[in-house]
Amino acid sequence: MSETSYCLTMILAPTLEEQVLDLLLTAPETSAFTSTSVFGHGANPGDLNTAEQVLGRTRQVQVQLILSRQDADALLARLRQQLPGIGIPFWLSPVLERGMI
């Protein structure tokens, strides 16, 4: 039986995108990942600029990586060490199946 893979998802403010992506590109735990522009909804209105308040959404970047639990734990530790207190929301989910079609 193969080792379980996990999907690490992080939501970044656009101002953090380059800094976090640069770290991920050089981290030994990562081999490949995706990043996508997304919109966040339901944020505290006081945290939004005027345009975001009118639109009811804020621009964000979603990053997803597939990796082992050990690598996920190591990468999260690396992020906490190199970017302390930066406030990046994340979640880690088991991958039920993966492959190519």
DSSP string, 2-46: PPPEEEEEEEE-GGGHHHHHHHHHH-TT-S-EEEEEEEE-S--GG
Q: What is the pTM of this model?
A: 0.85
Read off the pLDDT of residues 4-50 as tens digits, 9 standing for 90 and up. 999 999 999 999 999 999 999 999 999 899 999 998 876 665 566 56
CATH classification for the domain delimited by 5-94, as one of 3.40.50.300, 3.20.20.330, 3.30.70.120, 3.50.4.10: 3.30.70.120
